[in-house]
Amino acid sequence: MSAEVSSEDENKSTSSDITRRDVLFTLGGLGAAIGAGAAMWGGLELMVRSRQTVDSWNKAVCRFCGTGCGVMVGMTDGRVVDVRGDELAHNKGVICIKGSMLPELTRISGRLRSPKIRKDGKLVDASWDEAMGLVAARFSECINQSGPDSVAFYGSGQLFTEESYTANKLFKAGIGTNNVDGNPRLCMASAASGYVSTFGKDEPPGCYADADYADCFFLIGSNAYECHQPIFERIRQRKRANPDTVIVCVDPRRTKTAEHSDIHLAVIPGTDLLLLNSMAFVIFDEGLHNQDFIDRHVRFSDGDHEADQAAFRKFLQPYAPEKVAQELGVSAADIRRVAYLFATSTATMSLWTMGINQRTQGTFLNNTINSLHLITGQIGRPGATPFSLTGQPNACGGVRDTGALSHALPGGRLVSNPQHRGEMEKIWNVPEGTISGKPGFDAVNLFRAMEDGRVKAALIMCTNPGASLPAAGRYHAAMEKCFTVVSDAFEDSETQRHAQVVLPAALWIEKEGVTGQGERRYQLTPKLLNPPAQARSDLQILTDLAVRLGHDKLIAARTPQAVWDEWREVSAHSLYNFKGITYDRLEKERGIQWPCPSEDHPGTARRYVEGEDPFVTKGAGIEFYGNHDKKAVVYLRPYAPSPEKTSAEYPLYLTTWPVLEQFHTGTMTDRIAELHKATGNATFDLNPEDAHTLGVQTGDRVEVKSKYGTVLGQARTTQASRPGVIFAAFYDAKLLVNRAVADNYDPTSKEPEFKVTAVSVRKVTA
């Protein structure tokens, strides 16, 4: 303390003398401190490097399945270097391994670079003018000599909406034939005819977001884990957040989806209408139905005549679980349990795909799933909805909505309905009677017509029927007989081998256009790259053909946006109204769900629900306005066994299945090295029990024979296969299992039954 005293004495005399030096020192110190701080911050800003590796992120849509995920495409120096899920899109940033591989799709080898014409049995390079001149000449010749029904268009659920719309208009209102069909006939037709017959209008009433609210998921004939992974991930997230959620999977195979479900019913292929009717029986028998909902919103029908609830209950009597369990191959107790869960959960969401659609009773199955929701009132609330999942990115928007199928016209109209034809003739401004009243050929019958010469020239776009048709061998020969023109992005597909002219097409972000995915959502894919060499968009090819065939006035809209604007106006004349979905909005927003009648309308997540759907009468709550009495129809749909019944000659069932890493017939995905490596070559999968009986081991070569064809392939034994059923993945062009698959089809939807074929299996010894 004495130290303080002594120094204080000294300081007293100078304490008030703050010199200029002191001030400068202080300011200098302060400045130095601030400088040091700023330097440190600046240093940090420099050191914490932005690890962004791309120049720009561009909003787009995944090229592959019908989930239609929003993606962000990272571009550097004009190349796609990264693809990520778009967190602001409906998929909330989740995509799958196929979507993650999209950068590879843009640099895949084996792209078609030039038009080709077959000369002396060989496809040789030609100019666009030469190729299109030949196509137009042959089409004109056929139309003039044999009438408009001698030409056909076979399109795809992977074309952009503008392309399918233009093709449909050119052929139906220009050339004057309804021979416009496509691969959606092979995957979605039964879902479409199911929705139309039940609700009066096509397309699902619900949305993907329903998965966030459902307590019971009923997956039937869907391997969502592998085919619609972002949706299944959403279901699993729902279960993680709410562990009481039940996932039921109905599938003959123990798929990945089944593995991740709570209940797996491994039914015998072709029998599941028994299960659905049996569930309806239990629901009424146990009093689990929603009488109030039925009274207000439901009407019964046997397909031809009105029926009532009593008739429906009487119809269900033979479907008591105990009576059908044996034929179904599952226990009666399981049927009762699933019916109980379905009816009593807070919200039940059904999801299905090809296992239900690709069936001779496809429409009936779709009807009955819808019926289960109607009798229990499991519809029109968040989480409660019958939802058909879509296989292709634009089967819904591009083909079903535009009516680019042989029986249909835009906006849910039918060619067989004179009033509908009249409406479209007026809208398209063509003379009365231009549109033929005769439905065109559906997929299978189109190729049969090519076989017997009724169809003489066909334009096939963006699809590979040589691999994707059932009984494929038969239709390879049919394509040979016809003047077949194929527009494709890749060289040497199974279809091109039988084509007379091959046209190189742009792929994914090499062209601009709108796709409509499974929940009625339209999204825009921008053009970010130039197509390779001479390749063109399918829209350019179609408008070129239109001009050459003399329909340049009819096909006046030649750019994607112009076509979309025309189609938007056309939609305003129907209950599909999406006039409010402009290109401008699609560029800014993350897709919009129709109905959307005006530009200030936010879009409709849940259809038929007041407050969301603009077409529901105020005060109605729920209104199925697609039907004249505003009621949905519950049909009495009897089970009939598949024409493919096993016999002594063909003792096993063959069913095809998809794999996660591959999209459809693998035209795109199997060319990506990692995806090809992941799946290898497709095999015939059979249960060890059957394998033992047949004396077959994993790795053996087997011959799988049906009435339709014979396929040789490698066998693999797995517990995932149900005894009595042999499974094959259909992505592998080398195996080409579709050569042995039956081409029976549903009489209503005309969709072939890929999933049930009776076969014999024999070990081949070299």
Interaction between residue 45 and other proteins (CB under 8 A)? yes
Residues 645-684: x where in contact with other proteins by CB under 8 A, - otherwise, as a string? ---------------xx------------xx-xx------
| Catalytic (active site) residue 309 | no
- 88 binds other proteins per the rule CB under 8 A: yes
- Considering only residues 11 through 30, tell me which ones interact with other proteins, judged by CB under 8 A: 11, 14-15
Check binding of 632 to other proteins (CB under 8 A): no
> Can you tell me which of 32, 52, 130, 477 binds other proteins, judged by CB under 8 A?
52
Catalytic residue among 59, 98, 239, 755: 98
Q: Does 589 contact other proteins by CB under 8 A?
A: no
Question: Could you give the CA distance from residue 642 to residue 3 in angstroms, rounded to a whole number?
Answer: 109
Contact 425, 432 (CB under 8 A): yes
Phi, psi of 667 (to 5 degrees): -55, -40
Please say if 187 is a catalytic residue: yes
| Binding piece for other proteins, criterion CB under 8 A, among 96-104, 199-207, 285-293, 372-380 | 96-104
Is residue 591 annotated as part of the catalytic site, yes or no?
A: no
Contact segment (CB under 8 A) with other proteins among 82-90, 329-337, 380-388, 622-630 equals 82-90
Query: Judged by CB under 8 A, does residue 612 bind other proteins?
Result: no
Query: 392 catalytic, yes or no?
Result: yes
Q: Give the C-alpha separation, 297 to 313, whole Å.
A: 18
Min dist CB 105 to other proteins, Å, is 14
Q: Does 65 bind other proteins (CB under 8 A)?
A: no
What are 686's strand-pairing partners? 717
Contact 315, 638 (CB under 8 A): yes
Distance (Å, whole) CA 739 – CA 474: 8
Q: Give the separation between CA 469 and CA 365, rounded to whole angstroms.
A: 22
H or E element that contains 543: helix 538-548
Query: How open is the CA angle 78-82-83, to the nearest 5 degrees?
Result: 115
Binding window for other proteins (CB under 8 A); candidates: 50-58, 327-335, 339-347, 355-363: 50-58
In angstroms, what is the minimal distance from the CB of 216 to other proteins? Answer: 18
**Candidate list 35, 41, 426, 587; residue touching other proteins; CB under 8 A:** 41
CA 547 to chain centre: 32
Distance CA 369, CA 287 (A): 18
Structure tokens at 238: 């729902």
Residue 572 phi/psi, 5° resolution?
A: -65, -15
Q: Are 605 and 209 in contact (CB under 8 A)?
A: yes
- Provide φ and ψ at 495, rounded to 5°: -80, -45
Q: Which of 21, 47, 431, 695 binds other proteins (CB under 8 A)?
A: 47
Peptide bond into 595 cis (omega under 30): yes
Verify whether residue 174 is a known catalytic residue: no
Active-site hit among 354, 461, 479, 596: 354
97 near other proteins, rule: CB under 8 A: yes
* Minimum CB–partner distance for residue 68 and other proteins (Å): 16
Q: Given the rule CB under 8 A, which of 5-13, 116-124, 267-275, 471-479 is the region that contacts other proteins?
A: 5-13
Of the listed pieces 37-45, 282-290, 341-349, 650-658, which binds other proteins according to CB under 8 A? 37-45
Check 358, 378, 392, 540 and give the catalytic one. Answer: 392
How many helices (H) and strands (E) the chain has is answered by 27, 29
- The angle subtended at Cα 164 by Cα 176 and Cα 200, nearest 5°, is 85
What span, in angstroms and rounded, lies between the C-alpha atoms of 405 and 425?
17
* CA gap 349, 245 in Å, rounded: 11
Residue ranges in 198-237 that form contacts with other proteins under rule CB under 8 A: 212, 229, 233, 237
Check if 98 is active-site.
Answer: yes
Q: Which two tokens stand for residue 84?
A: 């990520």
Give the binding site for other proteins (CB under 8 A).
2-4, 6-7, 10-11, 14-15, 41, 44-45, 47-53, 82-85, 87-88, 92-97, 99-100, 212, 229, 233, 237-238, 240-241, 660-661, 674-675, 677-678
What is the set of active-site residues?
A: 98, 187-188, 354, 391-392
